[in-house]
Amino acid sequence: MSAQRWDIRDSYTERTDHVITHPNPSAVSLSVRASALVFSDPKSQNLLSLIERIASSNATALIIGETGTGKELIARHIHSLSNRRNGPFQAINCGAFSETLVESELFGYEKGAFTGANTSKVGWFETANGGTLFLDEIGDLPQSTQVKLLRVLQEREVVRVGSRKPIPIDVRLIAATNVNLEEAVKAGRFREDLYYRIKVVPIELLPLRERRGDILPLVEHFLAVYRNKLNTSDHKLAPETTSLLMEYPWPGNIRELENVIHRAVLVSTSDTLYPKDLNLPKISFNRPEFTSDEDSGITAPLPSRVSYERQSALYKLENILEELFEQAPENLYELINGTTVSKAYEHSKNNQVHTAKLLGISRNILRARLKELNLIA
């Protein structure tokens, strides 16, 4: 292929793309969250227009999108455009706490409320008073907490664990999820009344593969970030590198793109980035068909849905495991194995035959494991 260089700035010098960056990128370095967003693609510009229209209200918003698409950044941008911009912005991942801890984290607790409660503690709702509270992965909340959250949103007051005294709050709630809450409602895992209470303003954040006009501006942004961090020279893209960046389905979304650019800048031996520098996994395509985005003028191969969905799932699993390895909890293998079996059993509605088939093990092995987990007698 031609060794012709392609300077990414040549095509974007005249652009005035709206770039949103995380205020503390290092805080997301071990996660799969996005640290930057651009609104270059027409679909993203429509999203930005929606955000600007609803930001000034106090309406509860629900951001729906895959992991790594930038849900927290959208929430922060809504806050920055609102009348609450001078108040606090607090973000909490609902899946980061056990069922026994999540209520005390959200609503606070009084001294002596439970063993180890040696002092009173203010919850996240009180901490966000006068500002915005962002609840990420709200679908992970246990149902007992969902009931209390609904009451907080209706009454605009919280009651700390171990107390009977309500505390008035003035908080705008922005929730986010990467799961289908409608399906969770139908399956009985999420309260219907809470779902409609938080979905006053639904905001759908598309995956990166569906807004390809954002890819190259994001590449430009990350090249500049790591050029400054690593004190390297300007890097250009070979034409075949540009094509690969546009064709790849990005199952890990913006966070994956950032990691790829970071690595490419580190390992490149010249000021031109070639496909080998990206080290992207091979992707399979359907028939040699192409999809065209008339708004952005981009034409690229249509990746197999099965291919990128599987890659997306594997990418998420790898990042979850990486986070667990960083935390190094005790009995990690038992934790992972037990959680896998119990969730598969729950997913299969406690049907042992279906669970064994899903996990690819015999029913006898499954039954023995379920007994060890005290899920059956």
Select from 194, 273, 213, 169 the least CA-distant residue to 48.
213
Q: What is the pLDDT of residues 81-108, one digit of tens each?
A: 999 999 999 999 988 888 778 889 999 9
State the pLDDT at residue 81. 94
State the pLDDT at residue 33. 60
Q: Is 285 exposed, middle or buried (0-12, 13-18, 19+ CB in 10 A)?
A: middle
State the pLDDT at residue 149. 95
State the pLDDT at residue 49. 94
In the chain, at which residue ranges do the beta strands (DSSP E only) sit?
19-21, 36-38, 61-64, 89-93, 132-136, 157-159, 166-168, 172-177, 201-204, 236-237, 272-273, 285-293, 298-303
Q: Is 79 exposed, middle or buried (0-12, 13-18, 19+ CB in 10 A)?
A: buried
Low pLDDT (below 70) residues in the chain? 1-17, 22-33, 282-316, 319
In 243-351, at which residue ranges do the beta strands (DSSP E only) sit?
272-273, 285-293, 298-303
Determine the Cα–Cα distance for residues 338 and 369; give it in Å rounded to an integer: 8
Select from 196, 274, 190, 283 the least CA-distant residue to 236.
274
State the pLDDT at residue 325. 83
State the pLDDT at residue 303. 45
State the pLDDT at residue 25. 56
State the pLDDT at residue 38. 87
- pTM over 0.75? The answer is no
Q: Are the CB atoms for 31 and 327 separated by under 8 Å? A: no
State the pLDDT at residue 288. 37
Which domains are seen in the chain, by residue range?
8-15+211-306 (1.10.8.60), 42-207 (3.40.50.300), 329-377 (1.10.10.60)
How far is the first Cα of the chain from the last one, in angstroms, to the nearest whole number? Answer: 65
